[in-house]
């Protein structure tokens, strides 16, 4: 929406016939997916359909058994045999989790500076400077010396966003970033994400916030039983779904 | 039956100077053994959760053997048994420290394993997703949190080990109980002296509990 014709550029994520099993459960089935820089992709689907597993494959938190995944020119191989590429991908791909997963033993600021210092080898002053800027941007600058447990859920999730951004990622993954939040805090997190999308960040977002999806997504993907059943612009998927399962899913979730 | 016994306060208080020399031995065996046991516990506790089967197995064996046998038998084995293998006597103090080390080491291995395993999977995943290596994620994220959770059970183990050293009077180390026995042999005031011995153990274990409670109150421990 916010991006001039980004479809012409080379994909930053390419998934090619990716198959994943948990034991005998075939969780991802022949997933083909290309995402171009600047694109905001929202993944929707019922619980257990494989949304989390799909995005966790992109940064190697889950291994897959067949196919291949390329992220910004680095290749992930089946069975976790990716070697250094995995590390490179993880420094370039940020992730925000449903449960925030902030480090409870570190102050808010140290949560944000840890990876830049240990991975990017920035000196503490430089890392702190970046952290302060990011915390200000997500509206938490006055809480930087507190510990995560002293913040509200919405604040914690915004810290988690700042922490991921401190690595200057080229791609951001969000796994239901607002599902663990009290309703009155969902807005502040979505606002921060919307701002990021407007700045041109490439994002893959798993969410049940259909209004938000409609507004920020360039593309909506519906997955069911580990398969991409339907995808298209928000208008196409939400207002004119072609697949019967998509129609059923949407009629259930859009009712409330 | 008429009780003619009268508690002899003078004998009780008078024994204290004779018991005090046992305290350094009790503390040295306990904390020397626990320090080594902590190192053993970290190593074997981490081996125990290694993804590699051939590392997990020996660690599990060590833990089972030393948790499953009495510390008294362990110290007797070290003090009387090992010299037969080594061809020379072992200092009783060394034997006592070694026994506490291998015994507490087995329990501490389990404390370490439990502490590390208690950290939510999401912590490691958040670290990895930021580009930290597995070693870095462990060192900067998992271990510091695990250590805090380990402190209460470690304190518990320290108290148990301190009390275990009382058994080592059998190998003749001059710890608290031994000093009491030696003194009673000349005065025949067993009740008074053993009461004092018990109170001195209480003084040691209470001080330790106090330190631990203070740490906990300051929020340096637990969660
Ligand atoms: N570690 C695991 N071991 C075994 N099965 C798993 C594991 N993780 C997920 N699964 C199974 O894989 C399927 C897909 O799970 P996934 O978490 O990707 O679904 P999801 O679409 O994210 O669901 P939700 O909306 O509930 O988060 C589910 O059936 C789930 O039970
Ligand atoms: Mg999920």
Q: What is the pLDDT of residues A158-201, one digit of tens each?
A: 999 999 999 999 999 999 999 999 999 999 999 999 999 999 99
Give burial (CB, 10 Å; 0-12/13-18/19+) of B190.
middle
Beta bridge partners, B114, equal: none
Assign A256 a pLDDT band (cuts: 50, 70, 90).
Answer: low
Chain mean pLDDT for chain B = 93
Ligand 1 atom at shortest distance from the alpha carbon of A23: 4
Q: Quick one: pLDDT at residue B219?
A: 66
When pLDDT is cut at 50, 70 and 90, the band that residue B54 belongs to is very high
How many percent of chain A have pLDDT more than 70? 96
Residue A45 contacts residue A250 (beta carbons within 8 Å): no
Using CB atoms, pick whichever of B123, B132, B223 lies closest to residue A119: B132
Distance A181 CA to ligand 1 centre (A): 20
Adjacency order of strands within the sheet including A93-96: A93-96, A171-175, A202-206, A40-44, A219-224, A227-232
| Beta-carbon count within 10 A of B94 CB | 14
| Residue B61 in this model has a pLDDT that exceeds 50 | yes
Of the partner residues B122, B133, B148, the one whose CB lies closest to the CB of residue A105: B148
Taking CA–CA distances from A172, the nearest residue in chain B reads: B129
pLDDT, position B7: 83
Query: Which of helix, strand or coil describes residue B192?
Result: helix
- C-beta atoms of B125 and A97 within 8 A: yes
- Which H helix or E strand runs over B30? helix B22-48
Query: How much distance in Å is there from the Cα of A46 to the middle of ligand 2?
Result: 9
Alpha helix ranges (H) inside A34-150: 51-58, 84-92, 108-118, 124-137
Query: Percentage of residues in chain B with pLDDT exceeding 70?
Result: 96
Task: Kindly state the average pLDDT of the residues B187-200.
Answer: 94
Cβ-nearest to A95 among B129, B136, B145: B129
Of A136, A159, A135, nearest to A149 by C-alpha is A159
Mutating to test ligand 1, I would choose from A27, A206, A226 the residue with most ligand atoms within 8 A of its C-beta, which is: A27
Q: Does residue A99's CB lie within 6 angstroms of at least one atom of ligand 1?
A: no
- B79 has a pLDDT exceeding 80: yes
**CB A179 less than 6 A from any atom of ligand 1:** no
Asked if the Cβ–Cβ distance from B144 to A91 is below 8 Å, we say: no
| A172 has a chain B CB within 8 A of its CB | no
CA angle centred on B154, ends B198 and B218, rounded to 5°? 100
Residue A208 CA, closest ligand 1 atom number: 25
Mean pLDDT of chain A: 94
* Residue having the nearest C-alpha atom to atom 13 of ligand 1: A48
Q: Residue A217: pLDDT band by 50, 70, 90 thresholds?
A: very high
CA atoms within 13 A on the CB side of A190: 22
Select the residue of B125, B140, B223 nearest A114 (Cβ to Cβ): B140
Nearest one of A148, A209, A154 to A181, comparing CA atoms: A154
pLDDT-derived band at A3 (thresholds 50, 70, 90) equals very low
pLDDT at B5: 75
Residue in chain B nearest A59 by alpha carbon: B129
pLDDT tens figures, A5-62: 444 579 999 999 999 999 999 999 999 999 999 999 999 999 999 999 999 999 999 9
User: Which one of A61, A74, A161 would you mutate to disrupt binding with B, by most B Cβ within 10 Å of its Cβ?
Assistant: A61
| Chain A neighbors of B140, CB-CB under 8 A | 114, 118
pLDDT value, residue A6: 46
* Residues A46/A249, Cβ–Cβ less than 8 Å: yes
Phi and psi (nearest 5°) for A16? -130, 105
Among protein residues, the one whose CA lies closest to atom 2 of ligand 1: A22
Q: A20 at the B interface (CB within 8 A)?
A: no
ipTM of the complex: 0.93
Ligand whose nearest atom lies closest to the CA of A54: 1
Half-sphere exposure in the Cβ direction for A6 (13 Å, CA): 18
Q: Is the CB of A241 under 6 A from ligand 1?
A: no
Nearest Cα of chain A lies from the Cα of B10 at a distance, in angstroms, of 53
Residue among A251, A226, A245 at smallest CA distance from A57: A226
Strand A171-175 to A25-35 pairing? unpaired
pLDDT of residue A5: 45
Is the Cβ pair A59, B126 closer than 8 Å?
Answer: no
Q: A163 and chain B: CB distance < 8 Å anywhere?
A: yes
Q: Tell whether the model's pLDDT for residue B2 goes beyond 90.
A: no
- At B204-217, the pLDDT tens digits run 999 999 999 988 88
Would the pLDDT of B222 be above 70? no
pTM for the full predicted model: 0.90
């Amino acid at each position: 929406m916010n991006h001039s014709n980004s479809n012409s550029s080379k994909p930053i994520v390419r998934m090619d016939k990716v198959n994943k099993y948990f034991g005998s459960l075939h969780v991802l089935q022949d997933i083909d997916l290309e995402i171009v820089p600047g694109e905001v992709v929202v993944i929707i689907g019922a619980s257990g359909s494989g949304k989390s597993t799909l995005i966790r494959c992109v940064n190697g938190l889950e291994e897959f058994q067949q196919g291949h995944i390329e992220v910004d020119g680095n290749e992930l191989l089946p069975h976790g045999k990716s070697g250094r590429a995995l590390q490179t991908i993880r420094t370039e791909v940020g992730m925000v989790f449903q449960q925030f997963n902030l480090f409870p033993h570190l102050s808010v600021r140290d949560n944000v500076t840890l990876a830049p210092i240990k991975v990017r080898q920035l000196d503490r002053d430089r890392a702190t400077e970046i952290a302060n800027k990011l915390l200000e941007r997500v509206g938490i600058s006055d809480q930087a010396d507190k510990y995560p447990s002293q913040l509200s859920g919405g604040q914690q999730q915004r810290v988690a966003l700042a922490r991921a951004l401190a690595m200057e990622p080229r791609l951001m993954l969000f796994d239901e970033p607002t599902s663990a939040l009290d309703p009155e805090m969902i807005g502040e997190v979505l606002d921060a994400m919307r701002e990021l999308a407007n700045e041109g960040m490439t994002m893959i977002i798993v969410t049940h916030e259909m209004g938000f999806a409609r507004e920020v997504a360039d593309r909506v993907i519906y997955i069911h039983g580990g398969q991409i059943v339907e995808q298209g612009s928000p208008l196409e998927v939400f207002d004119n779904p072609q697949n019967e399962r998509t129609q059923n899913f949407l009629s259930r979730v859009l009712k409330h | 039956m008429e009780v003619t016994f009268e508690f002899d306060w003078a004998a009780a208080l008078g024994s204290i100077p004779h018991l005090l020399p046992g305290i350094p031995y009790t503390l040295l065996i306990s904390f020397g053994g626990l320090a080594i046991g902590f190192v053993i516990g970290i190593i074997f506790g981490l081996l125990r959760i290694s993804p590699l089967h051939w590392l997990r197995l020996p660690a599990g064996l060590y833990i089972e053997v030393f948790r499953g046998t009495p510390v008294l038998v362990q110290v007797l084995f070290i003090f009387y048994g090992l010299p037969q293998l080594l061809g020379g006597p072992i200092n009783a103090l060394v034997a006592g420290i070694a026994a506490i080390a291998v015994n507490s080491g087995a329990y501490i291995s389990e404390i370490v394993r439990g502490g590390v395993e208690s950290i939510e999977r999401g912590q490691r995943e958040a670290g990895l997703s930021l580009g930290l290596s597995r070693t870095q994620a462990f060192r900067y994220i998992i271990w510091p949190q695990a250590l805090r959770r380990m402190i209460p059970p470690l304190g518990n183990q320290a108290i148990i080990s301190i009390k275990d050293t009382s058994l080592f009077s059998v190998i003749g180390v001059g710890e608290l109980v031994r000093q009491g026995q030696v003194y009673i042999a000349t005065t025949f005031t067993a009740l008074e002296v053993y009461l004092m011995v018990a109170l001195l153990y209480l003084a040691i274990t209470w001080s330790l509990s106090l330190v631990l409670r203070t740490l906990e109150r300051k929020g340096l421990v637990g969660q």
